[in-house]
Structure 1
Amino acid sequence: MKFSDLLKPSAVKVLSATSSKKRLMHDVADLAEAAYGLSAPATVEALMERESLGPTGVGHGVALPHARLPDLQDVVGVFILLERPVDFDSVDRQPVDLVFALFAPEEAGVEHLKSLALVSRSLREPSLRSKLRANPDSTKLYTILTAAEADKAA
């Protein structure tokens, strides 16, 4: 499992501002709809339902919202860099500016967990978070994310 398996260039975006966690979920869903053809309303609903079980803000300004969706064949993701962090009820109470959302088929088991582990492990790296924050350009962000896996493989 690699970032390039989860993410395509059109699924990476920089947002100058978003007003709230709920608005951010709509932004994530809109990007997933544009990149993968997912239904934005159904995606928002699934994300909010998952969030009600416990916040997916994992600390250090990172959020990993995720949901299972019907009619999805593969695990896919979207990445958003927020130029202005937003409160996300994170475990460390810090606002979030790096958001990697994952969407999995309803029947996905191990693949969904492997994807979540890859993203979580990678975004725990302070150097990767710094590189992402220093490059507010969607093309550069995609390159940084997919190059991170190549560095680990080397």
Structure 2
Amino acid sequence: MANGYGNAYSQAYQKAAVSTIDQRKMIIMLYDGAIKFLSIAVEKLAKPDLYAAHTNMVRGKSIIAELLASLNLEDGGEIAVNLQRLYAYMFGELIDANLEKDPQRIVAVIELLKELRSGWQAIGPEAERKAAQSASSGNSRNKHISVRG
């Protein structure tokens, strides 16, 4: 019984945390999830546990599809277009990897996701540093920071 309550509280906490998280952190969490599921898929292909490999590839692919669908191509400019191309490429690679049971293709997608995650991670401290500099410079009302991604 205690486990049921603990699990319910944990799920409620996670739901509240996700609803209050900023966009950058949400994207990083999505990358983390895709990396996790795809890494499990690679492990399961080696066993071989094809059902578990397929299930985890589908989960990773679903996260990439969500990232692709959430792009704002109008406001995101060249960055959004490049991300769209990358996500579409990764999605296609995962389809082929699933059909061919090719772990190397999955590993290549994981490496791309790790690189993108690293970029999003780096945006945070830099933006925070610029905001702090702007706020301490006296006339912060006329200064704006724009981080697009």
**TM-score normalised over the length of structure 2:** 0.26
The structure where strand makes up a greater share of residues is 1
Q: Computing the radius of gyration over CA atoms, which structure comes out larger, 1 or 2?
A: 2
**TM-score normalised over the length of structure 1:** 0.25
The structure where helix makes up a greater share of residues is 2
Give the number of the structure with larger relative contact order, counting CA–CA contacts within 8 Å between residues 6 or more apart.
1
